[in-house]
Amino acid sequence: MRNYLTKMKSGRYLLSSIRVEARFWLVLLIGFAVIVGISADSMIRLHSILIQDRQDEVRHLLESGYSVLTHFQQLELEGKLTRDQAQEAARSAVRDMHYGEHNYFFIWDLNGKSIAHGGNIHYEGRTFIGTPDSVQEPVVSYMVSQLLAVASSPQHEGYSRYQIPKAGSTVPLDKIAYSKLFVPWQWSIGTGAYVDDINTSFRNRVVTRARTVLILLILAGLVTYLIGNDVAAATRRLSRNVERIARGELDRDVPGVERADELGDMARAVLVLRDTSREVVELRHDPLTGLAMRKLLNDHLNLTRFQSARNGYYNGLILIDMDRFKLLNDTHGHDAGDLLLKEVARRLTHNTRKGDTVARLGGDEFVVIAVDLATDEATALRSLEHIGQKLVRVLGEVYQLGSISHVSHASIGITLFRDESMAGDELLKQADLALYKAKQDGRNTFRFFDPDLESKIRRRNQMERELHSAIAMGQMELHYQPQVDDRGNIIGAEALVRWRHPERGMISPAQFIPMAEETGLIVPIGEWVLEEACDQLVNWSQRPDMNHLVVAVNVSAKQMFDEQFVEKVRNIVLCSGANPAHLKLELTESVLVKNIGEVKAKMDQLKQFGMAFSLDDFGTGYASLTYLKQLPFDQIKMDGSFVVDVLKDERSAAIARLMIDLARVLKLEVVAEGIETVEQHACLRGMGCSIFQGYLFSKPVRPDMFFQHLDGFRQAGAAQG
Ligand code: C2E
Ligand code: MG
Ligand code: MG
């Protein structure tokens, strides 16, 4: 069975290796050969039947001649005739027996002498073979020799064939004779019939048959040519176009869709294929950069995984994120952003190898699959490191976006892979973790994925889940860090949130605030902080020695852009009964970059309500002065980094002095935060700074501890005063 199947398959293969047009001609040729074969066979059969009939006829007729001899011999035996009389009578009787147009009897004796001849009486008495004086007529001699051979055969009778002209002609023609030895007289009697008529009619039939076959063949050839040519031409056209479509010319027409036959079906299928390819291409390629998009990336990634499982080569998955892309979009518009993305795409394509895949995942996130790096891990890692360095370098070069010169850097996460064990999205996740690390390590760099990082991230995710329930579980605390004036009096406090985690202990806001911002949890946390601070203000307002304190609350971008921010703040303050004039909101630049108009509107409304604003971490951002110019701040907070450096380096000192002067000119308060030493305090005080905050005075503390510090300072202040 299997043998049969293989045979069938190889037969089908053989057939499909011949072109359709050639196949038509082959069928035609085989048909021709078969028809010719069958015709020839039937003609030959017919010919032999006709000859056979003629032979039977001759044999049958001979019997009548033979019976004449028997008759006269009988008369001799009865004594009615002598032998000579009997033989003479028989001769003349036989000579006169004719039938048909050319048929007669003849008698020869065994010496080759003609006894009687119905066709040519002149032969009679003459000898044609045997003796030296025999008549030299080769045609007749041959005939006689044939007849005598039959006579001397064991049966004494039989057929012979020879050629002899008809009477009155010289052209020898085929003749069949039947002869038999009349033993008593030793005479061979025979008769014959020409077969030329059979041959002629046979030839005519052959010619007619051949002509019919030829006409049929020409017709079949013509039809074959027309059908074959149509099919072959349509197939050629279709395959030419399919090839072009496959090469990406997706606006090609598909010829033959109007046909009703199978080729039409095929053409319509190709049309559907072309249209889906078009959709797929549109889905797979980013119209802006022309790079592959997620779907295509996944396909390539899977392909690379399967291939590398077979060829043993290591590959790299590289995830790239451009820094400050949002900022560029927000400040210079989307056109500039688009130009940057295009340029990044160009630099990536130019700096990777031909077989590598470069894709854009959306936003400013790009991916490169660097394939076939090496078969050993160390070499593969080295080349990935090389690629990472190169990409960081070229992506960090200045971008000329129209009239803008823009500086941007890339953070890059890389992971190495070789087989199918890791799914495509798991690999992407690994590269993403590495990218996260690159960002944490100061950006403008690349990092490899390592499993340790993964566990750190897992812990982070766990923390994120726990943060959700932290407020409800009462794990949030608000600590206060005093702010003192130049005479050492505490004039207020900054409220700083803390998370008292049941297992991890006190978690600093630097650890969980960014996470809270990412997840949006900062909104409920910020509200809790404000409520808590207001309650504290109300509490302090009831103490004459503390009712002057102003509490500063930090506000993050997410809160500020909450649509109901102003409403919520007002409600919280009003509900608590706190005096809005004793509340100050600290904004950092990250709040301001987005939509300065909206921020200004909200600040105006809250200022009307009685609250004040402070610009936090002043001097660390890119556009501090712009914000200062456009927004109604009451205070600036000089960032702790300037305070640290104020004694160490002159430039920082100059900048610090400038900030203080600027604040004076703009009629703003200036707070120096992060004061840790007496020297820093003295230096800044000397420059004209009037408000201070830092560990030198107090760390952020619980409100119940605040009293003790307050008392401590009052004593210190009194001593100074
Ligand atoms: P920030 O608003 O600039 O707060 C000042 C930070 O400096 C606080 O860190 C404070 O503990 C620290 N600090 C004060 N004096 C000194 C000093 O002498 N030396 C040093 N090295 N540090 C000092 P903290 O409490 O860890 O807060 C970090 C940041 O978290 C804050 O920076 C603020 O941006 C954010 N944050 C804290 N609480 C909240 C909050 O309730 N809401 C929001 N949105 N952000 C908050
Ligand atoms: Mg602050
Ligand atoms: Mg600050």
667: left (phi over 0), alpha (psi -120 to 50) or beta: left
Ligand 1 binding site (Cβ under 6 Å of any ligand atom): 481, 496-497, 508-510, 513, 526, 529, 554-556, 586, 616-617, 640, 673-676, 693-695, 700
Do the domains 460-720 and 283-451 match in fold?
A: no
CA of 617 to the centre of ligand 3 (A): 4
Kindly report the protein residue whose alpha carbon is nearest to atom 10 of ligand 1: 700
Axis crossing angle, helix 509-519 with helix 451-470, rounded to the nearest 10: 80
Residue 694: nearest ligand to its CA? 1
Cα separation, 695 vs 711, in Å, equals 16
Tokens linked to 511: 């650890």
CA of 554 to the centre of ligand 2 (A): 5
Q: What DSSP state is assigned to residue 593?
A: S
Tokens linked to 713: 């300072």
Please state, in angstroms and as integers, the Cα–Cα distance from residue 441 to each residue in 64, 407, 509, 527, following that order.
132, 19, 19, 32
pLDDT of residue 457: 62
For residues 442 and 551, which has the higher predicted lDDT (pLDDT)? 551
Q: Is residue 347 a contact partner of residue 400, using CB atoms and an 8 Å limit?
A: no
Amino acid present at 384? L
**Does residue 90 sit in helix, strand or coil?**
helix
CA of 182 to the centre of ligand 3 (A): 152
* Mean pLDDT, rounded, for 484-508: 93
Locate the ligand 1 atom nearest the alpha carbon of residue 496 and give its number.
38
Comparing 9-13, 246-250, 512-516, 595-599, the range with the smallest average pLDDT is 9-13
Q: What percentage of residues in the chain have a pLDDT greater than 70?
A: 95
Locate the ligand 1 atom nearest the alpha carbon of residue 693 and give its number.
15
Locate the ligand 1 atom nearest the alpha carbon of residue 529 and give its number.
41
Kindly report the protein residue whose alpha carbon is nearest to atom 16 of ligand 1: 674
* Mean pLDDT, rounded, for 184-199: 90
Q: Is residue 337 a contact partner of residue 406, using CB atoms and an 8 Å limit?
A: no
Residue 696 in this model has a pLDDT that exceeds 60: yes
Kindly report the protein residue whose alpha carbon is nearest to atom 46 of ligand 1: 554
Sequence-separated (6 or more) residues with CB below 8 Å from residue 523: 558, 559, 562
Q: Is residue 270 a contact partner of residue 242, using CB atoms and an 8 Å limit?
A: yes
Q: CATH number of the domain at 50-194, please?
A: 3.30.450.20
Kindly report the protein residue whose alpha carbon is nearest to atom 23 of ligand 1: 674
Residue 510: nearest ligand to its CA? 1
Q: What percentage of residues in the chain have a pLDDT greater than 90?
A: 50
Of 75, 604, 591, 115, residue with least CA distance to 330: 591
Quickly tell me which residue has 């630099």 as its tokens.
Answer: 347
Residue 637: nearest ligand to its CA? 3
Kindly report the protein residue whose alpha carbon is nearest to atom 6 of ligand 1: 674
* Mean pLDDT, rounded, for 590-609: 89
**What are the contacts of 704-707 at 24+ separation with CB within 8 A?**
706/480, 706/482, 706/493
Residue 93 in this model has a pLDDT that exceeds 90: yes
Pocket test for ligand 1, best of 480, 484, 496, 551 (most atoms within 8 A of CB): 496
Q: How confident is the model at residue 1 (pLDDT cuts 50, 70, 90)?
A: low
Cα separation, 513 vs 506, in Å, equals 14
Pairing of strands 172-182, 157-165: antiparallel
Residue 558 in this model has a pLDDT that exceeds 90: no
Residue 714 in this model has a pLDDT that exceeds 70: no
CA of 634 to the centre of ligand 2 (A): 14
Of 110, 113, 118, residue with least CA distance to 90: 118
Kindly report the protein residue whose alpha carbon is nearest to atom 21 of ligand 1: 674
Please list, residue by residue across 507-545, b when 16 or more beta carbons sit within 10 angstroms of its beta carbon and e when fewer do.
bebeebbeebbeeebbbbbbbbbbbbbbbbbeebbeeee
How many H-runs (helices) and E-runs (strands) does the chain carry? Answer: 23, 22
pLDDT of residue 613: 97
Give residue 100's Cα distance to chain centre.
Answer: 89
pLDDT of residue 324: 84
Q: Please state, rounded to an integer, the average pLDDT across all residues of the chain.
A: 88
Kindly report the protein residue whose alpha carbon is nearest to atom 12 of ligand 1: 674
Kindly report the protein residue whose alpha carbon is nearest to atom 42 of ligand 1: 554
* Mean pLDDT, rounded, for 12-19: 73
Q: What's the length of the chain?
A: 721
For residues 336 and 420, which has the higher predicted lDDT (pLDDT)? 336
CA of 446 to the centre of ligand 1 (A): 29
Pairing of strands 187-194, 103-109: antiparallel
Locate the ligand 1 atom nearest the alpha carbon of residue 526 and give its number.
42
Rounded to 5 degrees, what angle do the CA atoms 537, 538, 540 make? 60
Kindly report the protein residue whose alpha carbon is nearest to atom 41 of ligand 1: 497
Q: Is residue 208 a contact partner of residue 187, using CB atoms and an 8 Å limit?
A: no
CA of 492 to the centre of ligand 2 (A): 13
pLDDT in tens, 118-153: 888 888 999 988 777 777 788 888 889 999 999 999
Locate the ligand 1 atom nearest the alpha carbon of residue 676 and give its number.
18
Residue 350 in this model has a pLDDT that exceeds 90: yes
* Mean pLDDT, rounded, for 44-73: 91
Cα separation, 88 vs 640, in Å, equals 165
Q: Is residue 444 a contact partner of residue 411, using CB atoms and an 8 Å limit?
A: yes
Cα separation, 419 vs 304, in Å, equals 8
Rounded to 5 degrees, what angle do the CA atoms 298, 300, 305 make? 95
pLDDT of residue 721: 42
CA of 513 to the centre of ligand 3 (A): 13
Residue 715 in this model has a pLDDT that exceeds 70: no
Torsion angle of C-alpha atoms 483, 486, 489, 490, degrees rounded to 10:
-10
Sequence-separated (6 or more) residues with CB below 8 Å from residue 194: 102, 166, 173, 174, 175
**Does residue 499 sit in helix, strand or coil?**
strand
Axis crossing angle, helix 334-350 with helix 325-332, rounded to the nearest 10: 140
Pocket test for ligand 1, best of 515, 531, 554 (most atoms within 8 A of CB): 554
* Mean pLDDT, rounded, for 374-386: 86
Residue 717 in this model has a pLDDT that exceeds 60: no
Residue 621: nearest ligand to its CA? 3
Domain boundaries in the chain?
Answer: 50-194, 283-451, 460-720
Please list, residue by residue across 236-271, b when 16 or more beta carbons sit within 10 angstroms of its beta carbon and e when fewer do.
eebeebbeebeeeebebebbbbebeeebeebbeebe
For residues 488 and 672, which has the higher predicted lDDT (pLDDT)? 672
CA of 18 to the centre of ligand 3 (A): 83
State the alpha helices, DSSP H only, in 19-112.
20-78, 83-95
CA of 586 to the centre of ligand 3 (A): 8
Locate the ligand 1 atom nearest the alpha carbon of residue 588 and give its number.
34
Among 4-8, 82-86, 214-218, which range has the highest average pLDDT? 82-86
CA of 552 to the centre of ligand 2 (A): 8
Residues with CB under 5 A from ligand 3 (ion): 616-617
pLDDT in tens, 450-480: 867 567 667 877 888 899 899 889 999 999 9
Cα separation, 347 vs 289, in Å, equals 11
**Does residue 320 sit in helix, strand or coil?**
strand
Q: For the chain, what percentages of helix, strand and coil (3-state, to nearest 5) are there?
A: 55, 20, 25
Comparing 175-189, 203-217, 654-668, 690-704, the range with the smallest average pLDDT is 203-217
Sequence-separated (6 or more) residues with CB below 8 Å from residue 30: none
pLDDT of residue 271: 84
Answer CATH for 283-451 from 3.40.50.2300, 3.40.190.10, 2.60.40.420, 3.30.70.270: 3.30.70.270
Tokens linked to 525: 């946390």
pLDDT of residue 81: 92
CA of 673 to the centre of ligand 2 (A): 9
Cα separation, 323 vs 141, in Å, equals 123
CA of 382 to the centre of ligand 3 (A): 42
pLDDT of residue 11: 67
CATH superfamily, domain at 460-720: EAL domain (3.20.20.450)
